[in-house]
Structure 1
Amino acid sequence: MSAPVLDVRDVTKVYGQGDTTVHALRGVSLTVERGDYVAIMGQSGSGKSTLMNILGCLDIPSEGSYLLDGTDVGVLDEHQLSVLRNRKIGFIFQSFNLIPRMSALANVELPLAYGGVRPAERRRRAVAALGLVGLGDRMGHEPNELSGGQQQRVAVARALVTSPALMLADEPTGNLDSQSTRDVLDIMDQMSLSGRTVALITHEDEVAARAKRVIRLVDGDVIDDRRQAPVEGPPPSLLSGGVR
């Protein structure tokens, strides 16, 4: 059997010292198998953002261990962490994080450029990824020429383009209107149906309802971890074909 995509073991995270000490995570353990679709929920201060940063290799635990797709993150140096992030994780952020004066196509190509993929190949894969999220006719547009929902779909395409082991989404619908929220969640459903591993950080019940599994955090502890019947989403699309 293959290793879990996420394997978190007794992870704690402590900030500050003395009277200012904050225990953001208190011995969190969880595993996420390949192809699972997980929503991690919690209110402000629950530790979900800290956990997201650790899962995304943007921060390290104070104690405990974290294995990403079988690799022990704790033994890697900064360069190795950067390579791991680029190859193994597709990030989707609430604020889109697109480069303003670059086209949608150029934004989607960026992770491949950092990974040393040749120009012709990265162009082919970026075009395919934008087509998968329904933006084949917007490839030359810059972010300020796109709606919020379209910008988030560009961000999803950028996350997809490396065919990562993990799609990690941090409040991906937080800045979107209702229709754009449904559009982006439909794409997340399609990614899950095509076998991709998705971990989504959210405080919204509507968003978490799309996932197969919901993990709830309170004060740095996992208080609930259960399977659920996700909301009926769209049928599988061309996402099942990947972008390679």
Structure 2
Amino acid sequence: MTPVIEVEGLRKVYGAGDTAVHALRGLDLTVQRGEYIAIMGASGSGKSTLLNILGCLDVPSAGTYRLDGIDTSDFAEQQLSLLRNRKIGFVFQSFNLVPRTTALANVELPLVYAGVRRAERKARALAALELVGLTDRSTHRPNELSGGQQQRVAIARALVTSPAIVLADEPTGNLDTDSSREVLGIFDRLNASGRTVVLITHEDDVAAHATRTVRVVDGRVAGVLV
């Protein structure tokens, strides 16, 4: 079976000359379909850069990245955007919800960009909210929701396109203990149902939910714990 993520010799350099920052230095990583991976590393280790490239939000300076068997090396921004919308669900630490719209409308957004018709958008968005236990909050705006509820809306938005992979950047970083437990429970259930999950975290108890932990040091994979 083709891995959902294949990274070979990935390099990322910001700037040039004496001020160049080498964020990734020939990193290799393979993630099989249905895995649950935690990526850990100190600040500046390159883990966020790696996740942004995996999410097609950034491009490498060198190396190869194949997403679900598709080589993204020569993709233009528009092609990356289409691939991102079809294959990837992204969950951010800061939720990134649109403030003045309802939970339902926030979840529908990726489908709007994909040109899905209104009736189908609503049905799929409600189904995604049901997966995270928030159908009763569908008409609430973000400022009417707790932090944990906002993150659950963000997860529903990530799932609404039925992506091959869910990427999460410190998804519990802004949450209290109870909300973190709820959100991690959702990721656990997603993975148990066959979804591929890759998350960044600096917390050992969060990484313990994953089936494999990848440690990144100075832009390279320094170790893997199973």
Give 2:90's aligned amino acid.
F
How many percent identity over aligned positions?
69
Q: Please name the residue that 1:152 is paired with.
A: 151
> Which portions of structure 1, spanning 4 or more consecutive aligned residues, are displaced by more than 3 angstroms?
none
Give 2:80's aligned amino acid.
L
Q: CA RMSD in A?
A: 0.8
Q: Please name the residue that 1:112 is paired with.
A: 111
Give the gaps of 5 or more residues in structure 2.
none
Q: Please name the residue that 2:33 is paired with.
A: 34
> What is the distance in 2 between the residues matched to 1:132 and 1:22?
41
Q: Please name the residue that 2:85 is paired with.
A: 86
Residues 219-234 of structure 1 correspond to what in structure 2 (within 5 A)?
219-227=218-226
Q: Please name the residue that 2:169 is paired with.
A: 170
| Counterpart check, 1:205 vs 2:204 | yes
Deviations 1:30-64 (A, max 9, x none): 11011000000011011001101110111111111
Mapped contact 2:28–2:220 kept (Cα < 8 A): no
Cα distance, 1:18 vs structure 2: 2.0
Residues 62-81 of structure 1 correspond to what in structure 2 (within 5 A)?
62-81=61-80
* Matched residues, number: 226
Give the gaps of 5 or more residues in structure 1.
228-244
Q: Please name the residue that 2:22 is paired with.
A: 23
Mapped contact 2:95–2:154 kept (Cα < 8 A): yes
Q: Please name the residue that 1:131 is paired with.
A: 130
Cα distance, 1:94 vs structure 2: 0.2
> What is the distance in 2 between the residues matched to 1:79 and 1:12?
22
Give 2:140's aligned amino acid.
H
| Counterpart check, 1:12 vs 2:3 | no
Give 1:122's aligned amino acid.
R
Cα distance, 1:226 vs structure 2: 2.5
Deviations 1:105-141 (A, max 9, x none): 0000111111111111110010111011010100000
Q: Please name the residue that 1:60 is paired with.
A: 59
Give 1:193's aligned amino acid.
A
